[in-house]
Amino acid sequence: MVKPALRVEKIPPYLFARIDKKKTEAKSRGIDLIDFGIGDPDIPTPKNIIEKMKEAIYDPKNHRYPSYEGMLEFRQAVSEWYKKRFEVTLDPKDEVVTLIGSKEGIAHMPWAYVENGDIALVPSPGYPVYKIMTILAGGNPYIMPLKEENGFLPRFDLIPEDILYKAKIMFINYPNNPTGAHAKDDFFENTLKIAEKYNILICHDAAYSEIAYDGYKPRSILEFDKDKKYSVEFHSLSKTYCMTGWRIGFAVGNKDAIYNLGKLKTNVDSGVFQAIQVAGIEALTGSQNSVEDIKKIFQRRRDAVVEGLKTVGINVTKPLATFYIWAKVPEGYTSADFCEKLIEETGIVVTPGSGFGDEGEGYFRIAITIDEDRIDEAIKRLKSLKI
C-alpha cells in the first residue's frame, strides 16, 4: 500500500463527511431524521435563473472550454452588482475572477500566498477550510479565538506582535458561519489598520452578506478599503440565490491578489461551465424579488427555532444574518456527545461546535434549511428529550 503524503495525514476528515456517516447509520436503523446539519438551502433556485440556464445549455458556444478567469460578461455583472449593492467600483478585467463556488477560491488563497512556515490568521470557530488549506499549503494557522463576550469578533490586541509581523494573510467572515455574528463598521476599520501596519492580506468570506434580517444590511470590506490595497472578498451565488449545487462564485478586490489567485487556478481547473455563468448573470442582474422572498422564509424559520429553543430552556441570541443558530450545549455534555444524543434519541441532526475548531466546544449549530413543519416537529421531539 502506497503511503499517503504527510500533508493528507495531518488533516482531519472533513466535518460534514463525518456527519454524513452518522446520518447514514441512523437511517439504517429506521430513524426519521430532521436534518439541521449542513447549510444547504432547501428552497429551489429562482425560476428566472433556471429558465436562463435552459436557454444557455442548448447554445453550442457554451459547450466548449470556458475562459479560465470567467466570462467577461459575468465579471461585468459582478461589477454592476457590487456598484449597486455596496457603491464599490470594480474593474471587471483585473479586479474580479470567477470561482467554482467561493469555497474553491478560499481554498486556493493559502496556496497563492503561504509558503512553508508562513502564518495565516484563522478564526475559530470558523469555516474549516481556512485552517485545513493553510496546513495543506505548508503554512501555520494562528488561531484567533471568537468569544461570545466579544461578539464573536477576534481581538487583535491579544495577538503577539511577532505573529502579526510574520502573518501573510488573515481570514475573516462576517456575517459569520457558524455563530451568526455580524461585524460593525469599527471592526472593519480596525482590521484594515492591522493589515496596513503589518502588511497582511485580508481575505473576507462574505458568502452570507445577503441573508440578513430586521433591516440589517451587511457591509463589504471594500467599502472601507476604497483603494483595494489590502483586501480580497469572496462571494457565492449559493446562499443568496439558493444555487449551492451550481458551483459558481467570485472573488473581488486587490488586483494583485486576484491575479495571483487566477494564475494558480489556471493550473488547477478549467473554469465554470459557461451556461452556468450565463445563469449567474441573470441571477445578479435580473429581478431581486426572489432574494427578498428567500430572506422572509429564513426569517420566519429563525424566529420559529429561537422561540422553540426557549420553550425547552435553551436561550440563544437571535442572529441578524445568516441561516444559522449558534447555541450552547446543556451543562454536562461535550458538543459531540450532545449532538450524538440528539441523533440517537430524537433523530435531530445538528452540528457540534467543536467541528469548527476547539473554540467552538460547548456549542452546537442549527442550519435553518428545512421547512417550518419540520422545525415544529423538531421542537416537539426536543421537549421529550431528557437532559
Q: Are the beta carbons of 366 and 180 closer than 8 angstroms?
A: no
Instruction: Supply φ then ψ for residue 344, to 5 degrees.
Output: -70, -35
Contacts of 200 (CB under 8 A, 6+ apart): 121, 164, 167, 168, 169, 170, 194, 230
Q: Which helix (H) or strand (E) holds 122?
A: strand 119-124
User: 293 with 232, same domain?
Assistant: no
Q: How confident is the model at residue 281 (pLDDT cuts 50, 70, 90)?
A: very high
At 142, the amino acid letter reads Y
Smallest Cα–Cα separation from 142: which of 114, 161, 123, 129?
A: 123
C-alpha cell at 204: 473576507
pLDDT, residue 290, reads 96
Smallest Cα–Cα separation from 69: which of 284, 277, 286?
A: 277
129-158: pLDDT as tens digits: 999 999 999 999 999 999 999 999 999 999
Residue 169 bridge partners (DSSP): 120, 201
User: 215 with 311, same domain?
Assistant: no
Residue appearing with cell numbers 472573488:
251
Has this prediction a pTM greater than 0.75?
yes
Q: Is residue 229 part of a domain?
A: yes
Q: How confident is the model at residue 15 (pLDDT cuts 50, 70, 90)?
A: low
- Which domain CATH number covers 29? 3.90.1150.10
For residue 200, the enclosing domain spans 47-285
Strands 167-172 and 201-205: parallel
User: 132 with 189, same domain?
Assistant: yes
- Which domain CATH number covers 177? 3.40.640.10
pLDDT at residue 33 greater than cutoff 90: yes
User: 269 with 319, same domain?
Assistant: no
User: 349 with 255, same domain?
Assistant: no
Total domains present in the chain:
2
Q: Count the Cβ atoms, other than its own, within 10 Å of residue 369.
A: 21
